[in-house]
Amino acid sequence: MFGFVPRPIAEMPWQIICITLGIAGFGVVVLYSAAGGSLSPWAGTHAIRFSVFLIMALVIRLFNEDFIKLWTYPGYIVVAVLLLLVELVGAVKGGSQRWIDLGFIRLQPSEVMKPLVVLALARFYELLPIGQARNWRAVWPPLVIMGIPFALVMTQPDLGTSIAIVTGGVTVMFLAGVPLRLFIGAGLAGAAFVPVAYFFLLKEYQQNRVLTFLDPESDPLGTGYHISQSKIAIGSGGISGKGYLQGSQNQLEYLPEGHTDFVFATMAEEWGLIGGLVVIGLFALLLRWATFVSLNAPGRFGKLAGGGLTMVIFFYIAINLLMVTGLAPVVGIPLPFLSYGGSSMMTIMICIGLLMGIAHNTRQSSGSGGRVID
């Protein structure tokens, strides 16, 4: 590349750093406005958090793949136990609890579980004899690996996260070559299961959210309020937006959760369609990079883990954006790099760090040849 740049610096994954920096930087700008033109309480913390987690990701990048493989199962087990603990603490305290207070950080085991399930399944398929890839034995253990955290998170209850866990896991299964008919069959069974789940598994507030999604105007001041106000914010922004710090929906607090789940609406009101397309474009670049990391990975673990992690990131982005534009029900899923919040950012940055690690590994194993993407 550029001969005059020192090698360690030249070898840094600049492309992905720039993309994440771009989105997160824009996030700081938007959060500054969400606070009515102030660094506190969100924008400043957001910037610091991103810096910390970016460094964390760059550290994860340097982990040897064997080291990661070694710690995948133990890590999975530890976090699953933590999930159970959280559940027990919640039961003792009476009420739902999702985090463990470690003093300096409130750790949400369910967040860490998302990449861990992906890694665990990737590891499983790597170890699975190739001949059994289309075998029944390629199906049931992954279902158990996913099923345990899914059940635990579901009872918290955290519908969004549990679906995210399953989505990551199913993606790995799909990429690992599990026969297509199983997915089609499961899809059909799932469709049949939806009414059952709706009536027996979902809590009343979750049911309301679904109902409201189907007909937001039915309850404009209750659960439909979020979606209505979000659409008003995006729609009133027009092509070029109302101008920075000029979004009335956000500034006058009509938009609820304008700094967390609905941060995209906050942004779109002030930056308009142009801002929205830029954000979507940046996410597309991010996912394109992640997809190529997985495609270019030499080993099965890297490929499968890369694909699953890509899906986890995509899941966040897609569900959040579908939600704020009124195409999906309100589920508490934040928008990566833009929404204020430490847990989700940590999860995303772990995924990014792991992906960077896979790319790093690819580069090292292929030498200078092949497509350099990191």
Name the residues that contact other proteins, by CB under 8 A. 130-131, 133, 171, 174-177, 229, 231-239, 248-249, 252-254, 268, 272-273, 276-277, 280, 283-284, 287-288, 291, 294-295, 300, 303-304, 307, 310-311, 314, 318, 321-322, 325-327
351: nearest Cα among 176, 160, 111: 111
**Nearer residue to other proteins within complex by CB, 153 or 321:** 321
**Min dist. Cβ of residue 315 to other proteins (A):** 10
Q: Is the dihedral of CA 355, 289, 47, 320 positive or negative?
A: negative
| Structure-token match 């199962």, residue found | 73
| Rounded least distance, CB 316 to other proteins, Å | 12
Nearest distance in Å: CB 44, other proteins: 23
Helix H, strand E, coil C: the string for 278-301 is HHHHHHHHHHHHHHHHHHHCCCHH
- Tokens, residue 133: 């890839």
The distance of closest approach from Cβ of residue 106 to other proteins in the complex, given in angstroms and rounded to an integer, is 28
Query: Which tokens go with 202?
Result: 């979902």
126-147 CB burial, b ≥16 within 10 A, e <16: bebeeeeeeeeebeeebbebbe
Closest separation between CB of residue 306 and other proteins, Å? 9
Q: Which one, 101 or 253, has the nearer CB to other proteins?
A: 253
3-state helix, strand, coil in the chain (%, to 5): 75, 0, 25
Task: Let me know how many helices (H) and strands (E) the chain has, helices first.
Answer: 14, 2
Which is nearer to other proteins, 156 or 230 (by Cβ)? 230
As measured in angstroms, the least distance from the Cβ of 10 to other proteins is 28
Q: CB–CB of 106/100 below 8 Å?
A: yes
Partners of 101 in beta bridges: 106
Residue 203 tokens read as: 């809590």
Q: Which CB atom, from 50 or from 271, has the smaller least distance to other proteins?
A: 271
Q: Are 75 and 367 in contact (CB under 8 A)?
A: no
283 φ/ψ angles, rounded to the nearest 5 degrees: -65, -35
Smallest gap from residue 251 Cβ to other proteins (A): 8
Q: How far is the CB of 187 from other proteins (least distance, A)?
A: 13
3-state secondary structure of 100: strand
CB closer to other proteins out of 79 and 351 = 351
Q: Which of 54, 122 has the CB closer to other proteins?
A: 122
| Nearest to 47, CA basis, from 39, 36, 37, 38 | 39
Contact status, residue 33 vs residue 250, Cβ threshold 8 Å: yes
Q: What secondary structure letter does DSSP report for 3?
A: T
Minimum CB distance to other proteins smaller for 147 or for 299: 299
Distance CA 117, CA 110 (A): 10
Smaller CB separation from other proteins, 154 or 304: 304
Complex with other proteins: residue 79 or 119, whichever CB lies closer = 119
Question: How near is the Cβ of 317 to other proteins at its closest, in Å?
Answer: 9
